[in-house]
């Protein structure tokens, strides 16, 4: 039995901080300035929750009771029971699945084949978020081929706006830049945006497959695969693993067995849970697909909050003028971020992945500088 998979996901996450939203400096012409106003945000949230018509915005969960992530995020309450003012306090994003529409050019014959990519835009009181979700679902493929496919999406695939003719196209990174700029212009006019230093953040998950090496050995082929999906070294087949030990990347997870690995580098996670991906499919989506979504949403929240806090803290430390309302909103964001990173699991969604994400970006120092 080889190590091969027929279901794999990787999500790429970018965020922008737009200080004018929180500082309420967008002016009357910005259509979505309500995002920075607690009362107006709560009102819009309530309208969307009640099924209000909006071709552009929706809640970040599809079902009335919400995805599992949101139940834990709201300390065990169903998302459908959350009022608008609570959504504001927890910095719940609103979602738009049509703001970033791209057609994917057919891969060249020499490029890895078979991935599909969709885009989601998220709007928050801090700014914007973008998630590009790449999927493979089909015939079993070797783990090394899955890595080639994931790297193909990040570095080789080309995307174009629907109105453009085929040919040429943008890289995934360029498509993300274009999507964020377009969404920002439409929602916030000419407001200035800052992208931060820690992106894209990636989550890669082997959802369903089989392996004859469930217990990953130091320097093994699977170790190399996990490193390739978190460090994103384009020369991954030849890269040395001497300074990328399993111990340095392995995160503690709930109900961990000896073969389970959440493999973490500064800006990426790879999920390797053999006890789950080798099970028959009792339901759709499989449990690992849900786990992937949980970590994607948690990482998006952490990035959006962390980059905002970091930006405002940096200005504050340099003695630059920070509008009082912006500083207040950054302090509120810092509280939510701190709760995500170190909070009681009965109070919010708790994962060591976010804790490690915060530490790798050194956002704790920024939190401390504006809250002490």
Answer whether residue 24 shows pLDDT above 90: yes
Torsion of CA 289, 290, 292, 294, to 10 degrees: 170
% of the chain with per-residue pLDDT over 90: 64
Residues 303-345 pLDDT 10s = 999 999 999 999 999 999 999 999 999 999 999 999 888 866 6
Among the ranges given (36-50, 274-288, 305-319), the one the predictor scored with the smallest mean pLDDT: 274-288
Answer whether residue 283 shows pLDDT above 60: no
Q: Are 18 and 126 in contact (CB under 8 A)?
A: yes
- Reported as a pLDDT band with limits 50, 70 and 90, residue 249 is very high
What value does the mean pLDDT take over residues 118-146?
Answer: 95
Answer whether residue 207 shows pLDDT above 80: yes
Backbone φ and ψ of 228, nearest 5°: -65, -30
Q: What is the mean pLDDT of the chain?
A: 89
CA angle 357, 285, 226 (to 5 degrees): 40
Beta-carbon count within 10 A of 123 CB: 25
Question: Can you give the pLDDT at residue 304?
Answer: 96
CA 60/CA 70 separation, integer angstroms: 9
DSSP conformation letters of 31-52: TTGGGG-HHHHHHHHHHHHTT-
- Reported as a pLDDT band with limits 50, 70 and 90, residue 219 is very high
Answer whether residue 58 shows pLDDT above 70: yes
Residues 89-121 pLDDT 10s = 999 999 987 777 888 888 888 888 899 999 999
pTM: 0.94
Question: Can you give the pLDDT at residue 61?
Answer: 87
CA 121/CA 98 separation, integer angstroms: 8
Question: Can you give the pLDDT at residue 10?
Answer: 98
Question: Can you give the pLDDT at residue 53?
Answer: 59
Higher pLDDT, 42 or 79: 42
Higher pLDDT, 71 or 166: 71
Helical segments of the chain, H only: 19-22, 38-49, 68-73, 84-89, 143-155, 172-188, 221-231, 246-249, 274-277, 287-317, 324-342, 352-361, 363-371
- Reported as a pLDDT band with limits 50, 70 and 90, residue 282 is low
Q: Are 207 and 8 in contact (CB under 8 A)?
A: yes
Cβ density class 294-329: b for 16+ within 10 Å, e for less? bbbbbbbbbbbbbbbbbbbbebbeeeeebeeebbeb
Instruction: Sort strands 261-265 and 102-104 into parallel, antiparallel or unpaired.
Output: unpaired
CA 371/CA 368 separation, integer angstroms: 5
Answer whether residue 280 shows pLDDT above 80: no
Instruction: Sort strands 102-104 and 116-123 into parallel, antiparallel or unpaired.
Output: unpaired
Question: Can you give the pLDDT at residue 98?
Answer: 73
Tokens standing for residue 164: 């453009």
What value does the mean pLDDT take over residues 206-216?
Answer: 88
Question: Can you give the pLDDT at residue 227?
Answer: 97
């Amino acid at each position: 039995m080889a190590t091969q998979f027929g279901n794999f996901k990787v999500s790429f996450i970018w965020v922008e901080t737009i200080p004018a939203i929180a500082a309420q400096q967008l002016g009357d012409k910005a259509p979505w300035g309500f995002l920075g106003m607690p009362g107006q945000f709560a009102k819009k949230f309530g309208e969307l929750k009640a099924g209000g018509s909006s071709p552009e915005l929706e809640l970040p969960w599809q079902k009335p009771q919400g995805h599992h992530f949101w139940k834990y995020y709201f300390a065990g309450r169903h998302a459908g029971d959350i009022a608008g003012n609570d959504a504001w306090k927890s910095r719940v994003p609103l979602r738009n699945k049509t703001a970033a529409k791209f057609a994917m050019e057919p891969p060249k014959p020499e490029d890895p084949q078979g991935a599909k990519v969709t885009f989601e835009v998220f709007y928050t009181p801090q700014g914007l978020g973008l998630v590009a979700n790449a999927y493979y679902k089909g015939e079993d493929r070797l783990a090394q081929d899955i890595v080639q496919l994931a790297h193909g999406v990040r570095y080789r695939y080309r995307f174009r706006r629907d109105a453009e003719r085929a040919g040429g196209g943008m890289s995934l990174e360029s498509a993300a830049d274009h999507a964020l700029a377009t969404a920002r212009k439409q929602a916030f006019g000419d407001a200035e945006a800052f992208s931060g230093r820690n992106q894209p953040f990636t989550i890669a998950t082997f959802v369903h497959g089989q392996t004859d090496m469930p217990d990953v050995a130091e320097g093994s082929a699977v170790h190399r695969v996990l490193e390739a999906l978190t460090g994103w070294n384009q020369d991954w087949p030849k890269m040395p693993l001497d300074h990328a030990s399993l111990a340095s990347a392995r995160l503690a997870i709930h109900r961990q067995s000896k073969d389970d690995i959440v493999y973490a580098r500064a800006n990426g996670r790879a999920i390797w849970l053999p006890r789950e991906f080798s099970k028959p499919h009792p339901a759709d989506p499989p449990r690992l697909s849900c786990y992937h979504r949980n970590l994607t949403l948690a990482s998006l929240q952490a990035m959006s909050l962390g980059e905002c806090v970091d930006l405002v803290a940096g200005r504050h430390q340099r003695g630059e003028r920070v509008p009082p309302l912006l500083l207040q909103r950054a302090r509120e964001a810092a509280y939510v971020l701190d709760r995500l990173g170190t909070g009681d699991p009965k109070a919010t969604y708790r994962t060591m992945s976010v804790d490690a994400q915060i530490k790798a970006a050194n956002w704790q120092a920024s939190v401390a500088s504006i809250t002490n």
